[in-house]
Amino acid sequence: MFRNSTISLNRLAKCRWRYHMLTLGITCFFSTIAAAQEVSVTTDPISRYFKITYPVPRNAPDVIQVHCTFSVPGSDAWQKAQVMPLVSETALKLLPVQEWNHWNSNGFITERRAAGLHRTLVFNPYPAAVQEGKVDAAFRIEIRGAGDEVLATYTTDLQADQSDVFYIEDWSQVFQKENLQKDDGDAPQKWKWREGWDAKKGMSLGNSLYGNAGKKLGMPQLSYPLDLKGWYAIYIHAPGSIRLRFTGDERNDLLSTRRGEEVLWRWAKLDHQNLVLKQHHNYTGYVPSMIDYVKFVPLTNEQRAALDAPFTAPHDKFIAAYWEPYSFAFHDDVQDTLWHREYLTAYSEANMDLIDMQIGRMGMKVVYESRLTDNLYYATRGDPIGAVAHPQTDNVGRMQQFTNTLQTSVRHARELDLKLHANFGASNCYPGSPLQGQFSKDHPKWMRGSSLRYEVPEVRAYALSLFRESLELGARGISIDYCRYPGTIDVPETANLFQKELKAIADEFSAARGKPVPILIRFPAHGVNASEKFDYATWAREGWVDYLCPSNIQGRHNHFDITPYKKAVAGTKCILLPSMDGLSWGNPLPGPFLWRAKQLYDAGAPGLYIYQADSRVLGKPTDRRTMRMLGSSQAIQAYWEEDTRLRPERSKGIYITRNMQIEGWHGWQRLRVWTEGIDLGPMEFYLDGKLIDKKAGPPYLLGTEEHTSDKIIPRGKHTLKIRARDGDGWLEQTFPIVGAG
């Protein structure tokens, strides 16, 4: 079996399945390996990747390079292999693109502190090592030290029949052939079927499907005929963005693998289904869409059950999830009311219980069909997108021109068995912008900064009238967000008065409906700006609130203590739902995010409120799968038990969140850290050679979550060294970072 090596390899006689995680769609397949066996090869039945476990010499230095090549029959040439170390989904999400390129394009992996250990690499044989559905290749591993000296070489045969795996590579087979043209064509609104691409451009067989007719012209949808029966795991490779669904689906997913990896989109029963492709649209209009291939792997009942396991555990936690149609309509071309249902189906799939849908902020133009205040019918502007500081679009206004946001959402939520609350931000008038409403323009003396003043009776009456209107339109409950918008409150008594008045309206509608109309309040947790202005204990004691959601803002204070809030709701009917921040610069998914969920569940939280849940539920399918786990304490516990079991097998590494600071918006971001292959123990941070922080264990972040750490990374370029305890030594890595100051 082995060439150029004294190590022997025996074929596996018996294997046992253990579900543990999804990383690039890799569901690891662990084998019963004889104790004397030093190198092993297994095939993952889901991804069909090879897992190759090999020994690292005991005299290896702290850092080694593992170079991987393969050769197919009839060829004397050795090609660089598409490989990766055995790492978690969290590590893959935080992985810098340069390191991914080393793995995928250059065929080498960096291993740290691996001397005397067995390490595992994962090899994707497609396309170069797959010939007529079969893999028959020689695979070579070469371990090199710091001076590029060869420390060990292993060569083994890889053999597998993958003829049952189906690939869509030839996109010329779509039904709508009249909507295709060759690469050199210039007909508008026709997809280009490209052949003969250089493999270095990321196309598997040199083929791709590309669609773009400019910002104002959308491409026609395409559909690809399928004749598949049963359950399949579906992977995609899309160097550009593309929207995909099956003909039986209500919703499409926006998918992209710009880094070059093949990713698991979903698993589904494909009887009587065809695949539908759609161009993506953003705030400026239609954008280029591209796809390389789609891969379908048949699943047995056992394999499907293993994939489903984290999502079928008992649902014992109540999850409230934020939804802001404004933000998604900012990018979409909303023309009909089914748009609202499409997005709500994702919340249903994610096992959310309560949808907290923000429909306005008091004092601005609202984004629902109000007749009591002005609607946002035309142009608006948003938060920075990349280098664009003030992006503008007509898309949000178009949503209100063509749909009833609240009425439609209420109906669809009821059909999907979701509890939908009408949520208002306490107040942000956006003075001087296209978002400012007429009420705040007419009464500038009733404003404090950019917020309406709730101590003014007329302001409270205005706000209460909009809550009343939302209930008249059918909202199942009502919510107010004081956390992001605390400036409307001057003293605790003002908020108490408003909550008492709001409760009276809820009671009125409860009596008329014959069932409760619950109130949810999101407010600043201790340490968060203006937290002292909110008398949450009185709200709970007086019954003015049904869901109490202490919250953080902008990624700070992610790990506040819930003890005082548990005390406040004790003996009342109020349910405590501490907030977890779904922002991309908050806790990374899934690891640190689920660490916080476990911390809250261990502390006795009966559920969670996920702020900015829409970015996770409606974003990457991998994120939505993480969100699906939140309603089950058993699923969260199982995740961490599996992480503990797998840590010794994974390659050692330190991963940090990427720099997302934007000039003028800096300060709120925290540099967060995830470790692989070692215990969750002590960590040290050295900035430009100086020790500036220590952590005894997670959560790992540079500095604290208080405002005093807002500028812990000074302006300019720096070198950050992170040391994490690894047994009797330290795992060290150095990172270039930039502070916005």
Write down the pLDDT at residue 74.
80
Q: CA angle at residue 105 from 99 to 107, to 5 degrees?
A: 80
Whether the Cβ atoms of residue 733 and residue 721 lie closer than 8 Å to each other: yes
> What per-residue confidence (pLDDT) applies to 199?
63
Confidence bin at 9 (pLDDT 50/70/90): very low
Q: Please state the φ and ψ torsions of residue 407, each to the nearest 5 degrees.
A: -55, -45
Q: Are strands 180-182 and 191-194 parallel, antiparallel or unpaired?
A: parallel
Confidence of residue 554 (pLDDT cuts 50, 70, 90): confident
More confident residue, 13 or 216: 216
Q: Which residues contact 568 (CB under 8 A, 6 or more apart)?
A: 536, 537, 540, 541, 548, 574, 576
660 within 8 A of 385, measured Cβ to Cβ:
no
Where does 372-524 show beta strands of DSSP type E?
Answer: 380-381, 392-393, 419-425, 447-448, 451-452, 477-481, 519-524
How is residue 390 written in tokens?
Answer: 């003030």
- The mean-pLDDT minimum among 178-187, 268-277, 608-617, 695-704 falls in 178-187
Query: Both tokens of residue 647?
Result: 């840590």
Residue 38 has pLDDT above 70, yes or no: yes
Name the DSSP letter for residue 248. Answer: T
Give the SS3 label for residue 481.
strand
Q: What is the pLDDT of residue 381?
A: 85
CA distances from 54 to 7, 8, 122, 154 (A): 10, 11, 11, 8
Residue 560 in this model has a pLDDT that exceeds 50: yes
Q: What is the pLDDT of residue 259?
A: 83
Residue length of the chain: 741
Report pLDDT for 16: 27
The C-alpha atoms of residue 64 and residue 151 are separated, in whole angstroms, by 9
State the sign of the Cα–Cα–Cα–Cα dihedral 29, 30, 33, 35: positive
Distance CA 293, CA 106 (A): 22
Confirm if 618 and 582 have CB atoms less than 8 A apart.
no
The DSSP 8-state label assigned to residue 104 in this structure reads I
> For the segment 98-145, what is each residue's pLDDT rounded down to a tens digit?
999 999 889 999 999 999 999 999 999 999 999 999 999 999 999 999
pLDDT at 476 (0 to 100): 98
Query: With 90 as the cut, is the pLDDT of residue 555 above it?
Result: no
Nearest by Cα to 178 from 227, 212, 220: 220
Instruction: Check whether 741 has a pLDDT greater than 60.
Output: no
Q: Would you say residue 348 has pLDDT above 60?
A: yes
- Encoded tokens for 190: 């026709």
Mean pLDDT (whole number) for 464-471: 98
User: What pLDDT score was predicted for residue 660?
Assistant: 56
Give me 359's structure tokens: 């429909």
Q: Could you tell me if residue 360 is left (phi over 0), alpha (psi between -120 and 50 degrees) or otherwise beta?
A: left
Helix (H, G, I), strand (E, B) or coil at 633: helix
Residue 231, number of CB atoms within 10 A of its CB: 18
Residue 329: Cβ-neighbour burial (10 angstroms; 0-12, 13-18, 19+): buried
What pLDDT is recorded for position 18?
32
Q: What percentage of the chain exceeds 70 in pLDDT?
A: 93
Q: How far apart are CA 196 and CA 207, in angstroms?
A: 6
Mean pLDDT of 223-242: 96
With H, G, I as helix, E, B as strand and everything else as coil, classify residue 206. coil
Residue with the two structure tokens 């979903």: 266
pLDDT in the model for residue 244: 98
Q: Is the confidence at residue 492, as pLDDT, over 70?
A: yes
Q: What is the mean pLDDT of residues 253-270?
A: 93
User: pLDDT category, 32, cuts 50, 70, 90?
Assistant: very low
The whole-number average pLDDT for the span 625-630 is 97
C-alpha dihedral (100, 69, 299, 173), degrees to nearest 10: 80
Q: What per-residue confidence (pLDDT) applies to 738?
A: 85
Q: Are 47 and 25 in contact (CB under 8 A)?
A: yes
Give residue-wise pLDDT tens across range 389-419: 788 999 999 999 999 999 999 999 999 999 9
Q: How many CB atoms lie within 10 A of CB 14?
A: 7
Find where tokens 């109309």 sit: 517
DSSP assignment, residue 84? Answer: E
The confidence score (pLDDT) of residue 720 equals 95
Q: Give the count of beta carbons closer than 10 Å to the beta carbon of residue 538.
A: 17
Residues linked to residue 401 through DSSP beta bridges, in sequence order? none
**CA-closest candidate to residue 481, choices 359, 647, 326, 615:** 359
Residue 234: exposed, middle, or buried by beta-carbon count in 10 A (0-12, 13-18, 19+)? buried
489 CB contacts (<8 Å, ≥6 apart)?
426, 454, 482, 495, 530, 533, 534
- Residues 6 or more apart in contact with residue 141 via CB below 8 angstroms: 52, 54, 66, 67, 68, 121, 152, 153, 154, 155
Q: Given this model, what pLDDT does residue 372 score?
A: 97
CA distance 181 to 190: 6
Are 610 and 321 in contact by the 8 Å Cβ rule? The answer is: yes
Task: Look at residues 125, 129, 155, 159 and name the one whose alpha carbon lies nearest to residue 143.
Answer: 155
Tokens of 592: 């640190």
CA angle 11, 16, 19 (to 5 degrees): 125
Q: How confident is the model at residue 692 (pLDDT cuts 50, 70, 90)?
A: very high
Confidence band (pLDDT; 50, 70, 90) for 669? Answer: confident
Tokens representing residue 54 in the block: 């090999």
Task: Answer whether residue 70 shows pLDDT above 70.
Answer: yes
566 in helix, strand or coil?
helix
Q: With cut-offs at 50, 70 and 90, classify the pLDDT of residue 277.
A: very high
> Cα–Cα distance between 479 and 354 in angstroms, integer?
11
500-509 pLDDT tens trace: 999 999 999 9
Residue where the block lists tokens 């720096």:
718
CA distance 502 to 479: 10
Whole-angstrom distance, CA of residue 665 vs CA of residue 384: 9
Is the bond leading into 699 cis (omega within 30 degrees of zero)?
A: yes
The Cα–Cα gap between 453 and 463 comes to 11
Question: Using CA atoms, how far apart are residues 455 and 140, in angstroms rounded to an integer?
Answer: 74
Mean pLDDT of the chain: 91
pLDDT-derived band at 232 (thresholds 50, 70, 90) equals: very high
Residue with tokens 């691409």: 197
The residues that bridge with 140 in the sheet, in sequence order, are 69, 155
Q: Which two tokens stand for residue 341?
A: 């249902």
**Residue 661: its pLDDT value, please?**
52
Query: Residue 556: what pLDDT?
Result: 86
- Smallest Cα–Cα separation from 19: which of 350, 312, 303, 315? 303
Distance (Å, rounded) from C-alpha 574 to C-alpha 541? 8
